[in-house]
Amino acid sequence: MSNTETYLESLLSSRKIVRNYKKVNFDKNSLDKISNYIIKIPTAGFSRGIEVVQVFNKNTIENISNLLNEKKFTEQGKSPWISHSVALFFIVLNENAYHERYSKGDKEKAVNSNDWDVPYWFIDAGAAMMNCMLLLEEKKLSSGFMGLHNTNRKSFHKLLNIPQDYLIIGMITAGVEKKTNMKSPDKIQKKKLIHNEKFSK
């Protein structure tokens, strides 16, 4: 039996979060259709409430880096991240799409979407995020993720023309990793994450 990694296993094993990019010119045509695959995810009841706003325009990316106060970090000696991205992908949630879907007659016996103890829209958003990161890895690009906590969310809605009743889950960056000589952080002690048959410490 072969122990050779599959292509997907290879992508998963090499994928990591990267927050410092080189400033490069990149053929964005290779990313034109990436969002078509980002949203190829299972959504609860085929609600299709997860959408993507893809940003390739350099000026818009620069404006987003300003909204995130990147200058504050570069003044501390940290490498640019957002401003050196070749593309940004915002995962946005239309929660109403789920409630509308689960109000239909064929879902009358299903648990009401307002009563989900774990809202499926967040599960679906996570699936879209992972699709995006793996697709970028396939394009030989690095990726990172940034939530919008502690930001003025309304500014992002205005800049990207996103309806106010949509929730921006977060932003995935795409770029070319800039190797640095920074000291690696102390390794975090690994925890047991895989349990066979039953949960065990």
Query: Which whole number is the average pLDDT over 106-112?
Result: 90
Give per-residue pLDDT as tens, 69-91.
Answer: 988 888 888 888 999 999 999 99
Helix (H, G, I), strand (E, B) or coil at 66: helix
Provide the whole-model pTM.
0.90
**Is residue 116 scored above 70 in pLDDT?**
yes
Query: Which whole number is the average pLDDT over 131-143?
Result: 94
**Residue % of the chain over a pLDDT of 90:** 67
**Is residue 96 scored above 90 in pLDDT?**
yes
Fold of the CATH domain 21-175: NADH Oxidase (3.40.109)
In degrees to the nearest 10, what's the CA dihedral of 61, 88, 160, 92?
-160
**What pLDDT is stored for residue 36 in this prediction?**
95
**What pLDDT is stored for residue 27 in this prediction?**
86
Cα 128 from Cα 179, distance rounded (Å): 28
